[in-house]
Amino acid sequence: MLADHYGWQAHLEAVDNNPYLEDFYMDMAQWAFPLQIYFLNSRFNQVHAIKESKHTIIQDRTIYEDAYIFAKNLRDSRYLSERDFNTYFSLFQSMSKMIQPPDLLIYLKASISKLIEQISRRGREYETNISIRYLEDLNRNYESWIGQYTEGPLLVLEIDQLDYVNRYKDFEYVLERVDQTLGSMRLQISPGTR
């Protein structure tokens, strides 16, 4: 919706063609490492495509989230061994030296009940068995990461009471907050930014 409004290009997470995702939700311990490597590579390639683009890009998930939230959560939950996490994180650190962070990070902060509602609405069968504990752990990791985020400007939007897909006034509120943040940053949106 933001891409349509501002005339940006959207780069969405490669979920439907991910060869590991369904297997991961069936057996997290077996598939955690290859899944995280797949996402890391996918996002790294996406960041490079954004850098080379002549368009302004909006991305739905960053490479940082994979490392600081999802991979960390899998390690903490013992689905990813310490050895595999260290290998993954070392690769992430090498890659992150070669990329530019987002010009603006927008964090959509949601409660567990809102996340469950959104997952249900999405209707992906392999997501139906996601545990509440897993979602709580992800939310905790997000809060921790956002609280320490220093890569660039950050806009936090609490979305529990927002339905910006179905209520235009809620989408207008999101646009107003984005416009305010971009204006206060005096950020010139130009090709190659994201």
Among 60, 76, 163, 179, the one annotated catalytic: 60
- Token code pair at residue 13: 């997470």
Query: Could you tell me whether strands 57-59 and 105-109 are parallel, antiparallel, or unpaired per DSSP bridges?
Result: unpaired
Contact by Cβ (8 Å): 47, 53: no
Q: Is 60 a catalytic residue?
A: yes
Backbone region of residue 190 per phi and psi (left: phi > 0; alpha: psi in -120 to 50; beta: other values) = beta
The secondary structure of 53-121 as a DSSP string is -SS-EEESS-HHHIIIIIIHHHHHTTSS-HHHHHHHHHHHHHHHTTSPPPS-EEEEE--HHHHHHHHHH
12 DSSP assignment: -
Quick one: how far is CA 67 from the chain centroid? 11
Q: Which residues are catalytic?
A: 60
